Structure 1
Amino acid sequence: MPIVSGKLQKEIRKTVSIGYQLYLPAAYEEQMDKKWPVILFLHGIKKRGEDIHMLDHYGLGWMADKIPGFEFIVISPQCPSLSSWPMERDAVLTLLDEVIETHRVDRERIYLTGFSLGGHGAWDLAAYAPERFAATAPLAGWFDPEKAVLLKSMPIWAFHGEDDDVVEIARDRAIVDALKERGGNVVFTTYPGLQHQVMDETYGNLKLYEWMLKHTIKRM
């Protein structure tokens, strides 16, 4: 029989499921008229699973609770076991939409960050859905430099330990250099003497949040 060529176009439905933790600012219930900026935080590989309490005392949600007057809602989804953040894009964005619909959110100020596997996830999600985020801050991550064109318009502040023994700094530097060659809006902060764990130094730096708030989502 001859080979027949064709094209399938069909709408399908997809069910997503993902655990998460949600941090609300201390003044959220008091300031009923305020719209709050949001940071979506993606964790590292060791926190994958189905026990949401693995995220207790960890990451940006935990750090936010220690910063007086922290003014962001923080969403911390949990990547399922044996999965990765690029595989969970639909679930993460659906969770983001749910929080936006059910909380008092400043829809122009939604930010993205992540550490290690989550740093890679932050690069990836920003490239996949750049219209959803005002800025992104990947920590100790990596991304394909050939896809830098997808991130050219995204404000990015990347962070990496110079002595990282888990994700070599060269992997982050490659995408940063590719973005700079294309005129991208990227800043790269490296930590001399630090290895893989750079969350405390980064999320404890109030200048990061000041930088985020300078950016709003660009509407077409």
Structure 2
Amino acid sequence: MSIEHRSASLPYLFSSVSEEANKPAPLLLFLHGARDRGNDLNVLLKSGLPRFVNESSPLPYFFAAPQLPEGQTWVDRESDVIALLDNLIASQPIDPSRVIISGFSLGTAGAWQIVVSHPGRFASLVAVSGRVPKTLEPTQLAALKEIPIQIFQGGKDEKLSVEDTQSIVDTLRAAGGIVDFTLLHEGDHFIADEVYSNPKLQQWLIAQSRRPTAVPI
């Protein structure tokens, strides 16, 4: 699949849907982990979702993956991520009700923060090998009850506590949220290749659509 390198306030990778698509398509927005920060977009193609997209035949969704400079976090650049999203929706045949955000490691913390700040913008969230920022309160997480969430973690991940993740899952479910938590028992922190290449997840992604009760903000 052809992935473009594009420049903006945050440079980003981008790929379109197959040319046969004749109606607005979903957008999958990906936030990378800490080790992929810098000024070389090719680094993102080495693993995880960008690698999967790059090595696949044309997919039924648009894909965008911005890159952070060294030393920054996604929370630092939240407004730039939303500006990129707005620009893509304005310039591409993207269905704004079918925007999915996913993060790996550092990117997961950013994805949680961005979804909590803009819950009406996203149809679903996929969190891989990452934690919820400690600054987010349970009441803020409860605002995500209309957004289906998939969480993936390795059982041998030395960076994350399974108990902490389960606590977040319990909090969301108690608020009425729709959460699937997949624990890969033999996996370590770097499970992204296995997660994103799973056909069941890929099918789930394109089935997501924002619920009518989630009003855009």
Give the TM-score of the pair, scaled to structure 1: 0.84
Bigger shift: residues 66-75 or 119-128? 66-75
The equivalent residue for 2:107 is 118
Q: Does 1:182 align with 2:171?
A: no
1:32 CA displacement: 6.0
Q: Does 1:23 align with 2:15?
A: yes
The equivalent residue for 2:164 is 171
The equivalent residue for 1:12 is none
Instruction: Find the aligned partners of 2:126 and 2:98 in 1 and give their Cα distance.
Output: 14
Instruction: Find the aligned partners of 1:172 and 1:132 in 2 and give their Cα distance.
Output: 24
Q: Gaps (5+ residues) in structure 1?
A: 1-15
1:193 CA displacement: 1.1
Q: In the TM superposition, what whole-angstrom CA distance separates every residue of 1:18-56 from its partner, at most 9, and x where no partner exists?
A: 11111223x2xx326332211000000011123333223
| One of 105, 109, 116 as aligned partner of 2:98 | 109
Letter paired with 1:48: R
1:209 CA displacement: 2.4
Q: Secondary structure at the match of 1:208?
A: helix
Q: Gaps (5+ residues) in structure 2?
A: 1-7
The equivalent residue for 1:160 is 153
Q: In the TM superposition, what whole-angstrom CA distance separates every residue of 1:139-198 from its partner, at most 9, and x where no partner exists?
A: 011114623213222110111001101233333222112112222111100101111011
Identity of aligned residues (%): 32
Letter paired with 2:80: A
| One of 71, 74, 78 as aligned partner of 1:89 | 78
**Residues 44 and 115, structure 1, Cα contact 8 Å, conserved in 2:** yes
Q: Secondary structure at the match of 2:46?
A: coil
Instruction: Find the aligned partners of 1:97 and 1:78 in 2 and give their Cα distance.
Output: 17
The equivalent residue for 1:5 is none
Instruction: Find the aligned partners of 1:79 and 1:69 in 2 and give their Cα distance.
Output: 26
The equivalent residue for 2:123 is 134
**Residues 114 and 139, structure 1, Cα contact 8 Å, conserved in 2:** yes
Greater relative CO, 1 or 2 (CA 8 Å, sep 6+): 2
1:208 CA displacement: 1.2
Matched residue pairs, number?
A: 202
RMSD, aligned CA: 1.8
Q: In the TM superposition, what whole-angstrom CA distance separates every residue of 1:99-139 from its partner, at most 9, and x where no partner exists?
A: 11111212221101010001111222111111111011100
1:62 CA displacement: 1.9
Higher-Rg structure is 1
Q: In the TM superposition, what whole-angstrom CA distance separates every residue of 1:50-74 from its partner, at most 9, and x where no partner exists?
A: 3333223333122023334421111
Give the TM-score of the pair, scaled to structure 2: 0.85
**Residues 97 and 121, structure 2, Cα contact 8 Å, conserved in 1:** no
| One of 15, 25, 29 as aligned partner of 1:36 | 25
